[in-house]
Homo-oligomer: A and B are copies of this chain.
Amino acid sequence: MSAGKIIVYGGRGALGAAIVKHFKANNWWVGSIDLAANEEADANVTVSKDANWSTQAQTVMTGLESALGSNKVDAIINVAGGWAGGNASNKDFLKNCELMWAQSVWSSTISAQAAATFLKDGGLLALPGAQPALQGTAGMMGYGMAKAAIHQLTKSLGCDNNGLPSGATAVAILPITLDTPMNRKWMANSDFSKWTTLEFVAQLFEKWTKGVERPASGSLVQLVTNDNKTELVIE
């Protein structure tokens, strides 16, 4: 018998794949939502990146219904997203705003909608924030706006009458830099001892899914790593 069921939105990304692997290794049933299937997952819902917001939502809702039947899940963990830079005079400013919005915010609102239907009472909904977006981010304006929207959505989901199942917890994790192969490639001269490992995040999500040291609903949880040790700053 499995430990329980979770959904990872973005299960093919670097962090998402690490989460799928970690939960699978610990005997969970794992569903993945992404642009392509994660073969390690027990079920996959694939969305087209060319589909619009509501079409992606329909694909996800229909896919989860067919994968889950009448079962509910213990957690929906969204780690979908990407990164794009640029300020207001960048020629790709609007294009990048649009891309950041589609990757992070569409997936977060669809995750919230899916949680309203498929999450157990007392379940966990985790959304992808970013620590830098707590302040201005002139060099990555579209990215910052999308992440700030996710932070505010998280706070809304922490209020009463949020539409989630009874007793559910919504949190956002706010990493500074994750230790991914892509970040190693593009920021090769960085101090990696300040980067947060994917395994740390995966373990954290499993702990919270089991109800261990789970933050209050609506919390923004900064992941602050120094000397290869990550501390949580919870607001």
Chain A interface (Cβ < 8 Å from any Cβ of B): 53-54, 57, 87-90, 93-95, 97-98, 101, 105, 109-110, 112-113, 115-117, 133, 135-139, 141-142, 144-164, 218
Contacts and interface: CB of A to CB of B under 8 A. Distances in A.
B141 A153 contact: yes
Given A88-B163, A93-B112, A138-B160, 20 more contacts: A53-B97, A54-B95, A54-B98, A87-B161, A88-B162, A89-B113, A89-B116, A89-B117, A97-B109, A101-B101, A109-B142, A112-B141, A133-B152, A136-B158, A138-B156, A138-B157, A141-B157, A147-B152, A148-B151, A149-B152
Copies of this chain, count: 2
A94 B161 contact: no
A148 B152 CA distance: 6
Given A87-B161, A89-B116, A105 B136 contact: no
Contacts of A144: 152-153, 155-156
